[in-house]
Structure formats: C-alpha cells, structure tokens
Amino acid sequence: MPTTVDLAALRRHAVARSLFTPTTLLKAVERLGGFVQADPLRAPARAQDLTLRHRVKGYQAGDLERRYPRLPLQEDFFINYGFVTPALRALMHPRTAYRQWDKPRWQLANAVLAEVERLGEAHPAEVDAALGHGPVKNWFGGNSRLSTELLDGLHYRGHLDVVRRDSGTRVYRLAAPFEPHPDPQAAMDALADVVIQKYAPLPAGSLSTLISMLASGARQWQDLRKTTLARAKARLAHARVDGVDWYWPADEDPARGWRIPAQVRLLAPFDPVVWDRRRFELLWGWAYRFEAYTPAAKRVRGHYALPLLWRDEVIGWANASVKGGSLNVDCGYVTGRAPREAGFKGALEEECGRMAEFLGVARA
C-alpha cells in the first residue's frame, strides 16, 4: 500500500499505466484487458483505430479490420461492443440474452443457423434472400430486415462468429459451442479484473458502475454483481483522496513516480484514459462530453472532439478532419488559450504529424 497518494499521483498512474510503450497489436489488446471498444463513426478514424495507434508500433488506420480475419480476436459485446480475446469471450458464454425468444422466434432463428451452415460464410443479404423474412421494426423505431435482426441476436447469444466485414457489414459463420463455466463467481471475478485492468485507478462510483455493466456481457450471472463488487473491493488497493475512495490493482503503486513524457496525444473519445466521465472530471477538473449525437447547434466542443492530453493533463480538445487529402486540426483549450510553456507547440505539431501518418495523408 503506498504511503502517500494524491490526485496528481492518480493522474500520473492513470496515464502511464494505460499509455504503455507501443507493442504488437495482439499484445496491446491483451494489455488493455483483452477488449477494445469499437464505434462505427470515422472522424477522422474509427475509435478502435484511434485507441490502438498510441499502443501499437507502426499502426495505420484500418489495420485492425484488415488483419481481423487472421487474428485470434472476435467481435462481441462486453460492457460495450468491440473486439475481445478468445479467453475473455469464453468467460461470457453461453450467454443469456435480456430478451427471451419464444418457440416461434427460435424456429426462425434455427432456419437462419441452417442457412449460415449451408453457406459456410454468410452475408446478411444472402440469408435474407434465401429465407425472405422481410422487414421488421427495430428497437429505435426504424426498419431493418428480420434476418439481420436474427443474425445479430444469434451472434450475441454466441451461436455465430463474425468472420470479417464487407463494406462495414458483418459476415458470419457458425461458432463452436461454448462450455458453461464451472464456477460463475470465479468467472465474474475475472470479468471484473478485466475492467479494472483497463480503467484503473477507479473512483468507487465508477467501479460500481463497471461491475453493473458486466451484466451486458454475462447477463446469466447478473445476480452476482453485488458480491462481485464486494470481492473486488476486498482484493484491490485503496485510498481516500479528497473525500473520494479510489481503487486499483493491489500490485501497483500510484505514488511510485511514474514517468510521463513531454508529449501531446489526441485521444479517442472512448480511449481508456478518458472513457470514464466521472473519473475524468475528478482527475482533470472539467467535463468532457461526446457530442457526435448532440444537435449541431447545442455542441460545445465539436462533433467528434478528441481530448488533448499534454503530459498527464487533459488541457483541451481537437477536431480533426481530412480535406483535399490533408489533415486539419483545430484545437480548443479549457483555459481559453494554448499553454505557453516551452515544448508544447512543437509537441502538438509532432502529434499532428503522427496523426497524419496514421491516416496516410499529408499535414495541412
């Protein structure tokens, strides 16, 4: 247990443990707990790519999708949708879904499974053409194909794997059956360790929220959430800082003197460093909000504002776009102006250069 932990130590700990020395793609995913959150928006790149570029040597936008068919990773739902390792996926399946299917629905689903088996690798359009299920109302009030809805549900339930994507659309194959975990509490403890590894140090409220969110990936064990939270708190290191209880892995020491390089990083809105908005406000003293789905007139910082990290301080945000084959970056700052300290301007230009290289475009 460290002798002195303050907010500055927690900030350094949060940044240093997550932004580790770049490594291989698979090792980076494993260091992130075995899970990388995905998002379809590309502004200027998808969230998974923006997350991995800081942690994978020589990473280029789209590398994960291009390499996915050859990687031992799977698309699946954890606390959010994303990419998971086989070990993490096995902890969550066989999974119980929130919406139970009745016998007629399962008859339709089994027809979809039979068609996927016949095709080997199945695009939703092929399944729909073969079965002619027609349109249905989806959960947000629009229209979708029943075959697509059934494929999504079968994938969530662990009956299908995603082989690849064709122009963004998931292509499926039958998944190998999952064996039930012999010890549900041990499985929930392991799932809790994944979110702790990915997002620590965590204030108590965020730890509780994350444990509750595990029910999205392992709904069959949702009654174990309270016990899982208590067990997590018992095995984690803990300190009370400015009236807030914080938790982190017992073998880590936030006060050890983490080295933070004099570097600027433009982070994805879902990067582990900034993902937890409660923790963000406690560590950096201002509220960051993801505004892509906010009406344009009500946006404060931009459609896809990237948190701007300077050393261990998130001091502002940047909106990045590619126009005419060149990267444009427009920055805003919490204080209303850029830092005047030596090194910041050059560090920002270096980060913009890295972003342009990652995107494969010129720097405006």
Domain segments of the chain: what residues? 103-174
CATH classification number, 103-174, choose in 1.20.1420, 1.10.10, 3.40.720, 3.40.50: 1.10.10
Virtual CA dihedral for 40, 301, 293, 311, nearest 10 degrees? Answer: 40
Residue with tokens 């698309």: 75
**How many whole angstroms separate alpha carbon 178 and alpha carbon 175?**
9
**Single pTM value for the model:** 0.93
What pLDDT digit, counting tens, does each position of 252-286 carry? 999 988 889 999 999 999 999 999 999 999 999 99
Cβ–Cβ under 8 Å, residues 97 and 153: yes
Element (H, E) at 16: helix 7-18
**How many whole angstroms separate alpha carbon 183 and alpha carbon 187?**
6
The arithmetic mean of pLDDT across residues 26-40, rounded, is 97
**Residue 144: predicted pLDDT:** 67
Other CB atoms within a 10 A radius of the CB of residue 278 amount to: 14
Cβ–Cβ under 8 Å, residues 269 and 263: no
**Residue 1: predicted pLDDT:** 44
**How many whole angstroms separate alpha carbon 340 and alpha carbon 315?**
12
- Token digits of residue 299: 């946006």
